[in-house]
Amino acid sequence: MARPGSWIEPHPHGIQIPAADVWIDPSRAVERALVTHGHADHARGGHAAVWATPETLAIMSARYGEQTSGIAVPYGDSVDLNGVRATFLPAGHVLGSAQILLEYAGERVIVSGDYKRRADPTCAPFQVTPCDIFITEATFGLPVFRHPATQSEMQKLLAALAAEPDRCVLVGAYALGKAQRVIAELRAMGHDAPIYIHGAMQKLCDLYRDWGVDLGELRPALVASKEEMRGAIVVAPPSALGDRWSRRLPDPITAMASGWMRVRQRAVQRGVELPLVLSDHADWDELTSTIREIAPKEVWVTHGREDALLHWCQLHQIKARALDLVGYEDEDD
């Protein structure tokens, strides 16, 4: 009797489905790829054919040029690849992010990609779907990682801004997903003043707007004066926090929105005055509760802090293994 999932072959550079002649999130160019979402460590350029959600294909086009080889698969739709049925389901990570449900040989296998369980005004929520094998990430797969409520982190940001109105708050946020989420969460809190953005954010913020995400009034920071930006929020890539670009801002309070801000040493190393623990990945409780809800027979872990999650699975009588995939980054989450 074949072992569960014997038709799936993990390799260091991606997950291969030989029967379908396709790879999932390969870290190098291949002939045929299923892509879970648009972050560069999962969506590489150069594939001959790509299946992804329409939003992810739009993101790939914005980053790599027009994806003429892209085949759009909206949420809930399926494609048949040589008898392997692949269905794209919301993952809640960023705009267009998807879990991929694979059905073959009487088995149901879900490749989660990156995901989170928190509400996010910029993307569809994670859809819990039963399966036999759940292939999950473990970016924050340690019990120490328990993310605080989103609203409390946004309140910290707004309180810092109100306390020092002659300064600005400069928020470092990953350009795809995190930046737009920070802006949308602030809007949900009632902050309707213009928000200034680094030029590297413009294209992706425009893309989010094209897909119906309301970000309010955004202004380019490059052409604004110091006086205009006093008492304002400025959003930029993390790499810009200590860059010459930031010197033109009015005495910025340096903040960073990342799940890694739970680790004080990381905040100190980055020179972050206002750490904001805001992640687009599931924390420890969300990883374990998701596995409980899905109730798979086996759990496979693609990357991250897998040892603790593997141990947790074993304690709960769930078979588990690490796939040891390479090339997936922490992304400044």
The secondary structure of residue 208, as a DSSP letter, is H
Checking if the pLDDT of 330 tops 70, the result is: no
* pLDDT band of 331, cuts 50, 70, 90: low
Report pLDDT for 329.
66
pLDDT in tens, 87-134: 999 999 999 999 999 999 999 999 999 999 999 999 999 999 999 999
Report pLDDT for 327.
76
Token output for 70: 């892209």
Of the candidates 297, 262, 292, 226, the one whose C-alpha atom is nearest the C-alpha of residue 145 is: 262
Helix, strand and coil in the chain, % to nearest 5? 30, 25, 45
CA–CA separation, 164 and 174 (whole Å): 25
**Counting runs of H as helices and runs of E as strands, what totals does the chain give?**
8, 19
* pLDDT band of 333, cuts 50, 70, 90: confident
According to DSSP, the β-strands at 78-81 and 70-72 are unpaired
Checking if the pLDDT of 82 tops 70, the result is: yes
CA–CA separation, 198 and 237 (whole Å): 7
* pLDDT band of 64, cuts 50, 70, 90: confident
Q: What is the mean pLDDT of the chain?
A: 95
CA–CA separation, 301 and 10 (whole Å): 11
Residues of the chain with pLDDT > 90: what percent? Answer: 90
CA–CA separation, 7 and 76 (whole Å): 23
Query: Which pTM does this prediction carry?
Result: 0.95
Compute how many other C-beta atoms are within 10 angstroms of the C-beta atom of residue 328.
Answer: 17
CA–CA separation, 90 and 123 (whole Å): 9
Query: By the 8 A CB rule, do 79 and 117 touch?
Result: no
Compute how many other C-beta atoms are within 10 angstroms of the C-beta atom of residue 155.
Answer: 12
Q: Which amino acid would we find at residue 286?
A: E
Element (H, E) at 269: helix 264-269
The residue whose two tokens read 């004080």 is 264
Report pLDDT for 242.
85
Of the candidates 182, 183, 197, the one whose C-alpha atom is nearest the C-alpha of residue 278 is: 182
Q: What is the mean pLDDT of residues 249-277?
A: 95
Report pLDDT for 197.
98
According to DSSP, the β-strands at 195-197 and 14-17 are unpaired
